Amino acid sequence: MAAIVENSDDAILSKTLDGVIMSWNAGAVRLFGYTPEEVIGQSMTILIPDDRLHEEEAIMEQLRAGQRISQLETVRCRKDRTAIDIALTISPVKDATGRVLGASTIARDITPHKRAAERQALLLREMNHRVKNLFALTSALVSISAQSAEDVGELATDLTARLAALSQAHALMLPHHSSETAEQSDVTLAALLKMMLAAHEGRGPSRITIEGGDTPIGRQALPTIALVLYELATNAAKYGGLASTHGRLAISIAIQGELMTLTWRETGAPERPDPTGFEGFGSRLEKASVRSLRGTIERSWLERGLEIVLQFPIGDLSR
């Protein structure tokens, strides 16, 4: 039994009813960073964050009553005081008469499971956001195509071309898992912008201009940059300069040393109530994406328009 406890991957320890640590296995050393000599005889509170000290008294009350605590998910501290998510199973230790002498504790690191759950929740929110955006954007494309089409056949042809362009842009936001998409990693910023915005061009004179320099976008940065530009283009088509027939979008790219600055300027947008008052999931997603490439994003609201300035280190864009 001692060999089983000592070789367990989980932290297994015992304590008195006063919360004093009595035994400490190798799994506890790996999980918490303390050696047996450092903790045996010490209070369990050395493992508990200050804001969770109340948990220990509640646990001890249950143990004194002979109750077992199963799979309590909580937070504890390592020796270096970093927090760790763990699941605890705590059982009373009794003598032959049934009197509770102390407790045995099994602690398991659930940090990977917690992170995976958080990541899954974020992905579900992002998927929901993208699906709603695609419906809204498709509706906007139908409206744009209808304004310039003279008959049903022309409308169908125009809308099909726009949806194909939107599909190509959407594909760029997906991770590259197959050789089928490997060629797409050799893309420049200007080419990416043209592809992302192709669906929003009308049959008449272009409402979109792209000027200035250019820089390559690497395989790792491509999905992130495509996602940011997709969000900006979607908002422009739903609310901004591409949502009205007289609206315009002017983009300029400036390369200064190791820094790329992209200025996105929308004019002629429909009037809308207080666009600065609410930050939705899309805006938070943009900021998180930009930060992941050590970039910055700044918005300036204009009269019936918007100016966005994006800056990225060129080295982060090309990786």
More confident residue, 293 or 264: 264
Tens of pLDDT, residue by residue over 165-217, are: 667 666 665 555 444 443 444 689 998 898 888 877 766 678 899 999 999 98
CATH superfamily entry for domain 2-109: PAS domain (3.30.450.20)
**Two tokens, residue 293:** 């490439």
Predicted pLDDT of residue 274: 62
Residue 281 has pLDDT above 80, yes or no: no
- Report d(CA 79, CA 76) in Å as an integer: 10
Predicted pLDDT of residue 212: 95
Nearest to 253 by CA among 176, 169, 301, 314: 314
Buried b (16+ CB within 10 A) or exposed e, 247-263: bbbbbebeeeeeebbbb
More confident residue, 9 or 105: 105
Tens of pLDDT, residue by residue over 94-129, are: 988 889 999 999 999 998 888 888 888 877 887 777
Q: Is 304:271 a contact under the CB 8 Å cutoff?
A: yes
Tens of pLDDT, residue by residue over 122-177, are: 778 877 776 776 676 677 667 766 765 677 887 787 677 667 766 766 666 555 54
Query: Does the global pTM surpass 0.75?
Result: no
Predicted pLDDT of residue 145: 64
Q: Average pLDDT of the chain?
A: 83
Asked which of 69-78, 121-130, 227-236, 269-278 is least confident by mean pLDDT, the reply is 269-278
Instruction: Kindly give, in sequence order, each residue whose CB lies less than 8 Å from that of residue 192, ignoring residues fewer than 6 positions away.
Output: 172, 217, 222, 225, 226, 229
Q: What is the 3-state secondary structure (H, E, C) of 183-245?
A: HHHCEEHHHHHHHHHHHHCCCCCCCEEEEECCCEECCCCHHHHHHHHHHHHHHHHHCCCCCCC
Confidence of residue 258 (pLDDT cuts 50, 70, 90): very high
Predicted pLDDT of residue 162: 63
Query: Domain coordinates of the chain in residue numbers?
Result: 2-109, 114-317
Residue 235 has pLDDT above 80, yes or no: yes
Please state the rounded mean pLDDT for residues 268-292.
Answer: 70
Confidence of residue 280 (pLDDT cuts 50, 70, 90): low
Please state the rounded mean pLDDT for residues 282-303.
Answer: 81
Predicted pLDDT of residue 285: 62
Rounded to 5 degrees, φ, ψ at 174 are -90, 145
Tens of pLDDT, residue by residue over 57-103, are: 888 888 888 889 888 899 999 999 999 999 999 999 998 888 999 99
CATH superfamily entry for domain 114-317: Histidine kinase-like ATPase, C-terminal domain (3.30.565.10)
Locate tokens 């419906």: which residue? 135
User: Beta strand 248-256 with 208-212: parallel, antiparallel or unpaired?
Assistant: parallel
Rounded to 5 degrees, φ, ψ at 162 are -65, -45
